[in-house]
Amino acid sequence: MKQERIKDLFSDWRVLVLIVLLVLSVIAIYPHFDSNGNLTTNLQYGLDFQQGSWIQLEFKAEVVGFTTTEPVDTFVANLSKSLDTDVVQVDANHLEIRKSYTQAELQPYFAAEDGTVVSYQPGISATTADLVKQILVDKINSMGTKDAKVNTITGLNGVTQYVRVEMAGVDMNQAQQIVGKQGKFEIRIQTTGNQTEHVLYGDSITSVAVPSQSPAGSGNWGVGFTLSSDGAATFQNAAITYGATTDPADHKLTMLLDNQSVYSAPLSQALAGSLQSEPTTQLFASTGSGTSGEQQATNLEIQLRAGALPVDVDIAGSGSTSASLGQHYMEMCLIAGILALIMVAFVIFYRYREPRIVLPMVLINASEIV
């Protein structure tokens, strides 16, 4: 009789579904022993239950309200040149200035261009904040960091002054290496002598390839990268304006990360010729041949991927959870969970006084935890 009941139980489709889900859950959790013989799983516990760190970054930029008697496009272009930074029009009455200035410092610059500062708010626009968030997410993911969270902190006025990054399983030193650095990437073109002019920031780079040998068949190593359509047009215009297409040798292309040169070379004759007639989105930065060229290409790839933030940042706050404290929290949660399960079983047994009812209900509770 018992065998028949057990057979009927396991022939019920709901029981079969429960068993299948439990098996799939255990496979997903994947309990196994690591190389050191310690039991581990695929579970990601979050910042509170394992070693981890958080960093809050402050944007060194501001959104200002303005008025001007000049055409807005002309006003923005002139202001960008005088402030030596990108100035982006947010809407009809506001500009985003991607460099740290106080309101008092901005007033004379605006006045010189027939404009006035009407309002001032440290931070960046919502559009730029979304871009920075995506860049940081891509950067963290490319480094293989698991269970990372990136959240922008935006005020009621729509201006974002901070972004908070949480990374479980990462100590503070590593966290600062990943996101705490400024990581501002810039491309400039040599004009006269050692003088250079700004061309693009890293936000115009949409993708970066792994190091490879030149597609032209020269055997030189390098890194291919892709520009956005707007970035490609800007790059072509700058190359023509500053003479890099007609005299590449005297107008080198320079790449800087945090204002430090990481690459400098003239345009290839083929690229200089093609830029005379049309923009190109596909570029290849050659780093030389042999082992040295390959290593330089690897370093350049990291720098290209790391330097995409369109604005400077400072670390405004940070904190961490030690591995021992996270382990303590996890043990306390495990004990609390077991005690809760026992209490549920006790209440059910006190109410029904029937093991045939209590046992299945407790097993269902346990299966839900799994």
Full 3-state SS string of the chain: CHHHHHHHHHHCHHHHHHHHHHHHHHHHHCCEECCCCCEECCCCCCHHHCCEEEEEEEECCEEEEEEECCCHHHHHHHHHHHHCCCEEEEECCEEEECCCCCHHHHHHHHHHCCEEEEEEEECECHHHHHHHHHHHHHHHHHCCCCCEEEEEEECCCCCEEEEEEEEECCCHHHHHHHHHCCCEEEEEEECCCCCEEEEEEHHHEEEECCCEECCCCCCCEEEEEEECHHHHHHHHHHHHHCCCCCCHHHCCEEEEECCEEEEEECCCHHHHHHHCCCCCCEEEEEEECHHHHHHHHHHHHHHHHHCECCCCEEEEEEEEECHHHHHHHHHHHHHHHHHHHHHHHHHHHHHHCCHHHHHHHHHHHHHHHC
Note the pLDDT tens digit of each residue in 25-57. Answer: 999 999 888 877 888 888 767 666 777 788 899
pLDDT at position 142 is: 60
pLDDT at 111 over 90: yes
Cα 41 to Cα 246: distance, rounded to the nearest angstrom: 60
Of the listed ranges 15-29, 65-79, 272-286, 296-310, the one predicted with least confidence:
296-310
**pLDDT single digits (tens) 165-211:** 888 777 777 677 667 555 678 889 998 888 899 998 887 888 777 78
Residue 369 CB: number of other CB atoms within 10 A? 10
Question: Comparing C-alpha atoms, which of 86, 299, 309, 62 is closest to residue 181?
Answer: 309
Per-residue pLDDT tens for 212-224?
887 666 678 888 8
CB 185 within 8 A of CB 202: yes
**Which comes out higher in pLDDT, residue 274 or 131?**
274
- pLDDT for residue 145: 63
Residue 308, pLDDT score: 56
Per-chain mean pLDDT for the chain: 84
pTM of the model: 0.54
